Amino acid sequence: MNVDRRQLTALIFDVDGTLYRQGGLRRAMLFKLLLHAVQNIGSSFATFRILREYRRAQEVLRETHVGGDLAAAQLRIACERSGYAEAIVSRTVARWMEQEPAPLLERFMDPGLRSFLRAAKGRGLRMGVLSDYPAADKLAAMKLGEFFEVVVSAQDAAVNRFKPHPSGLLEVLRRLGATPPQALYIGDRHDVDAAVARAAGVHCVILGRRAEATVAEGFTSVTSYERLERMLFAQADAAVEPPVEATASKEP
């Protein structure tokens, strides 16, 4: 599968782990959680258990069709598995997965991300976001909202499926007015992001800091936005430039 730069009109991004380094954020959040646990010994067990079961519920629902609201289904599963009431689970998730991380996100952005986004915007590429969770507040926290015309989450009514189901990616394409061959999806997980791109027939780049990226098929692994910018735009005006090979290769 190849990406022809002359045909490329749209870039679509995952958020968590793609627009910022998720490992760094998780370490910072673990420190905050441990501090909270020391100061609130009575409630710390509940917090850790709820967050664990909420994340596990997402993985359960990746391969499951939900007839009703996806966000409500994830919350319900987390309540059942953690043993805590919906109000407690909802409040804990909102604080520790939305409110507390927000001020930290910009700190963990890839240093080359803004340059890449400016270069893409300057070349007239339309850009959108597909995330498993609502992303508008995260983009605002990172001061990136100006770059993205379309922001879609798995929990939107028009989607209601987690990746790797292709409905979310196809919805972003529809709103951007692009066809699958005209788009590039940029993510960080080959098992989710490369899989959803493959299901939708979209070319994919994985920002690969993981060795296992080399074993999958149908995507290119790139270590940074700086390298991706060179790959896509360094010779963008040269008509003779060959397409990017979207094989499972990893840059040194």
Alpha helices in 63-166 (DSSP H): 70-82, 86-94, 113-122, 136-141
The stretch 230-252 carries a mean pLDDT of 57
pLDDT of 4 > 80? The answer is: no
The dihedral formed by the CA atoms of 198, 23, 162 and 117, expressed in degrees to the nearest 10: -60
Q: What pLDDT is stored for residue 112 in this prediction? A: 93
10-31 average pLDDT score: 93
- Structure pTM? 0.86
State the pLDDT at residue 240: 44
Backbone dihedral region for residue 117 (phi beyond 0: left; psi -120 to 50: alpha; all else: beta): alpha
Q: Hey, is 39 helix, strand or coil?
A: helix
**Run of H or E including 153:** strand 150-153
User: With 70 as the cut, is the pLDDT of residue 237 above it?
Assistant: no
Q: Which of 185, 176, 194, 173 is nearest to 228 (CA)?
A: 185
Q: The tokens of 165 are what?
A: 């189901």
Looking at residue 235, its pLDDT comes to 53
Residue 176, pLDDT > 50, answer: yes
